[in-house]
Amino acid sequence: MGRVVVEVMPKPEILDPQGKAVVGALPRLGFTQFSGVRQGKRFELEVDGEVTPEILAAAREAAATLLSNPVIEDVVSVVDAAAVPGEATGTPVSA
């Protein structure tokens, strides 16, 4: 079973209230290393067979039309999960 990962972020010129909330909370928890935070979305689209170039093209179209709002968001990546090291298994990162 294949998986396509789509990543969407708010455009740089768009205010990102969720990111602002996170950047305000970080120093209160002792994380003073970070000067800015943007929060976007990550989708995993599952397909029954292999991720073919046609599937990737459909995912790119879906990303541009349904998964993102092109007025306020950019699609930053549409990739076959199997092509990204560490993404294939979806193994959680331990803290």
Per CB under 8 A, the list member of 17, 40, 80, 88 interacting with a copy of itself is 40
Q: Binding to a copy of itself by residue 88, rule CB under 8 A?
A: no
Q: Binding to a copy of itself by residue 77, rule CB under 8 A?
A: yes
Exposed / middle / buried, residue 34 (Cβ in 10 Å: 0-12, 13-18, 19+):
exposed
Lookup result for tokens 């930053």 = 76
Interaction site with a copy of itself (CB under 8 A):
4, 7-9, 19, 22, 25-26, 29, 31, 33-48, 54-55, 58-67, 74-78, 86-87, 90-93, 95
